[in-house]
Every structure is written in C-alpha cells, then in structure tokens.
Structure 1
Amino acid sequence: MHKLSRALPLLGLLALAGCSSTGTAVNQPVNTVAAPVVSAPALTGPSPAQQVAAAQTATMVDAYVDPAVLPMMSAKERADASSAQFYALQFGRPGAPRTWSGSGSSGSITVGPYVRVNNLDCRDFTNTVTVAGKPYVRKGTACREVNGTWSVASVAG
C-alpha cells in the first residue's frame, strides 16, 4: 500500500501531462500573412548558345583565307569555312586540323596554342582552302575580343 500511495501522484501527473489546453477560443480564425515572394533576378542578354552563334557569325572567314580564293567559294562554302575557323580557334587542339568540305572546294584550319597578348587570348592559325586541286594557304594570328569574336591581329607573308 505504501508503494501504491507513492505511485499515485506520479500517475496523476502523467495523466495531466497528456492533456493540453487550447484556451476558450476554439473557433477563432487564424491570422496568416503571406510571405513575400522572392524570385531570382531575371537574366538579361543572350543565352550562352546565342553568344556562341553571334561570335561564330562575327568570325567571318574573309579575313582568314587567301583573298584570291574568295570569289571561287560559294556562300555555303564560306559559311562552312567560317564555322570551322571559329570552332578551331575556340575549341581546337593545337596542331589538330579542323576540316570542312563543299561542292567545289574544301579546307582545313590548324591552330596553335593559346598565347596571352594585351589581356587577350590569341592563337596562330593556318587556313588552307583547296579549289580544283590547288591549295591557297593563309597564316596569321587571331585574337579573341572581349565580346567573344575572333579577329585577325596579323597575317604572315
């Protein structure tokens, strides 16, 4: 009996601990305030794919090939040569040629390693266009401008 009298107060406390009081206002509306919506800033400007396309378009082949061969190339061949030139300068491994082929002409572009000149990335290039079996070669150095385009800095010989 003595043990039971000591356990009763503890059992009473445990029983009360399981109860909760919500007060008298059971059906009161709950005040909610909508959290402010935080969105990421809108990205402005062209996407990376659009930037590459714009830089590729601006890297026209006219400055990279022998001027004597330009009249012999179709518009599609010029576009193919321009694309090959851009990708060779932008992504090409030094010494690994990037080739293109058209209906009447074909070509290859070989680039050297990157060199830093006046805070610009520059590369030597050798552009060979072959028309009717005759190669037209132009060598020079091209530098990547701040806007991503490549421009001829110098032409050898």
Structure 2
Amino acid sequence: MNRIALLATPLLALTLAACASTAPTQVAVQAPVVTAPVMNQPLVATPAQTTQQALLTTSVANGFVDAGALALMTAKDSAAANSAQFYALQFGRPGAPRAWAGDKGTTGTVAVGPYVRVNNLDCRDFTHTVKLNGQDYVKKGTACREQNGNWAVEQGA
C-alpha cells in the first residue's frame, strides 16, 4: 500500500503540471439575474430606540404632576420634568430622588418605589414634587410600563 502511494504521487504531480501549462479557453458566462421578493416585515426596534420613543411619549401632562403646577409650568419646565420622571421610573433606585430644574427657579424631584409586577406589567409608585413660585405641588401615584415601553399613570391607584 505504501508503494502505491509513492508511485501515485509523482504521477499526480505530472498530471497537474500538464493541466496548468495548457492555455485556458475563455467562455463568457452571464450570471442569471435573480430578484428577491419584497417582503413587508415590521422593523424591530432596538432597546435604545424603544427607550427613546418611550421617553418622548411619557408626558407629565398625563397625570405625573399636580394639575395646579402643570398649569403654571413653561415648556422648559415640562421638558425637564418629563425627562426626570421617565428616568426615575425607568432606571431610578427606590427612594433616591431625581432632581430637575426648569425656567425662573422652577425645580422638582421625582422619587420612585421598587418595581412591582401587576397584571404582567412593571409598576412603580412615584412622588413628583414641583417647587414653583415658592409653593410645593406634590403628586403621588402608581405608574406602569406598558408593552410598548411607555409609562402611564394608573387611574384609581
């Protein structure tokens, strides 16, 4: 068996050398054009996109701030309060207030409780305090994160 391998190796080398020395014939071959069917698949949002969308749609105007304070807040106040409210609910440690500052001395804090699972939703108690024109406006409630990532105040909670 070893002898056959010793004799076959030089023969194989000669055969391959002969093939390499002949000039290749050029043949033009055009590849067929294949078009893929268009499929309408929904785009799946990344966690960062989901968080950004939820931040944009979680609004203090939807029950996160006392109505008396909300009527006096400027757009900058509301934007700062929205951001603080969302990030406190989303990432805040229980009991650690998240502060915000708006226009002309308007400030506020948002404190949240621990996550609680209710009807397959993540919920948290919150306390949002707004200091405006020397007066404190306090709103307490429970917010739950909906399937789309938005936080909504639970009515009657």
TM-score bracket relative to the smaller structure: 0.7 to 0.9
**Residues of 2 paired with 1:30 and 1:43: CA distance?**
44
- For the pair 1:74 / 2:69, whether they are aligned, the reply is no
What is the SS of the residue equivalent to 1:88?
helix
Percentage identity across paired residues of the two chains: 50
Match of 1:115 in 2: 116
- For the pair 1:152 / 2:153, whether they are aligned, the reply is yes
Match of 1:92 in 2: 92
Deviations 1:116-154 (A, max 9, x none): 000100000011111133211111100001111111014
Match of 2:54 in 1: 55
What is the SS of the residue equivalent to 1:56?
helix
1:19 Cα offset (Å): 1.7
1:50 Cα offset (Å): 3.7
What is the SS of the residue equivalent to 1:69?
helix
**Residues of 2 paired with 1:24 and 1:108: CA distance?**
83
CA 1:128–1:18: 2 relative to 1, 3 Å: same
**Residues of 2 paired with 1:23 and 1:91: CA distance?**
68
The amino acid of 2:85's aligned partner reads Q
What is the SS of the residue equivalent to 2:24?
coil
The amino acid of 2:56's aligned partner reads T
**Which of 25, 29, 33 matches 1:28?**
25
TM-score, scaled relative to structure 1 = 0.74
Q: Which runs of 5+ in 2 are unaligned?
A: 1-5
Whether the 8 Å CA contact 1:115–1:122 is kept in 2: the answer is yes
TM-score, scaled relative to structure 2 = 0.74
Match of 2:101 in 1: 101
CA 1:13–1:79: 2 relative to 1, 3 Å: closer
CA 1:23–1:97: 2 relative to 1, 3 Å: closer
Q: Which runs of 5+ in 1 are unaligned?
A: 1-10
